[in-house]
Structure 1
């Protein structure tokens, strides 16, 4: 009977140490998560996780751009595809801000002149 009580104590200690380990691991993981904030109307790119299996060297892992329609608490974002018009919710960790390229009208054009060599 005494051995059964000792076994029960060892089991309880193991459960307690496992609980403490899980709490420490979770706090470490949560500390290293990057919080991303999005606003409605912002353009974003979405990470396509299916390409991990069939990864091509030059394939882009990002899809989009999508437009953010609603931001929910805890990092959930509702996006809509402008081409298809479909809206769906995704985890904010799968999204990345989309930076549009500069058009020629906005870019400054600098004309370079060939240097003239002077013989000395």
Structure 2
């Protein structure tokens, strides 16, 4: 009976160690994939709208902008400024990507509805 308990304890310990090594390998793999982004004030950025659900649709872009960086705070916090309105707000740096294009035409459409 004691021998079976010792074998069971040894199997549990081996499974724990194997799981620990597997988690370390997976973490190392994912950490290699993280890209370091550097932000400087004055750069143009696009903002990922993950929470915007006002206009659901497959063809709607989830990136908005371009916005300019006003300042870079600690721990990856970026203060963005909208050049059109001058409004500023803080966002996580993980939600930004560099904007490499020129000027963007902001398309607005007006639809007039008639009463039936």
> TM-score normalized by structure 1?
0.66
Aligned with 2:64: secondary structure? Answer: strand
The count of aligned residue pairs is: 99
**Structure 2 runs not aligned, ≥5 long:** 104-116
Q: Which moved more, 1:2-11 or 1:63-72?
A: 63-72
- Please show how residues 1-120 of structure 1 align to structure 2 within 5 Å: 1-50=2-51, 56-68=57-69, 69-73=71-75, 76-82=76-82, 83=85, 85-90=87-92, 92-101=93-102
For structure 1, the 5+ residue unaligned runs are 103-120
Q: Which has the larger radius of gyration?
A: 1
TM-fit CA distance, 1:66: 2.7
Distance in 2 of aligned mates of 1:16 and 1:84: 55
With the length of structure 2 as denominator, give the TM-score of the two structures.
0.68
Kindly report the root-mean-square deviation, in angstroms, between the aligned alpha carbons of the 2 structures.
2.6
Taking the aligned partners of 2:86 and 2:18, their CA distance within structure 1 comes to 51
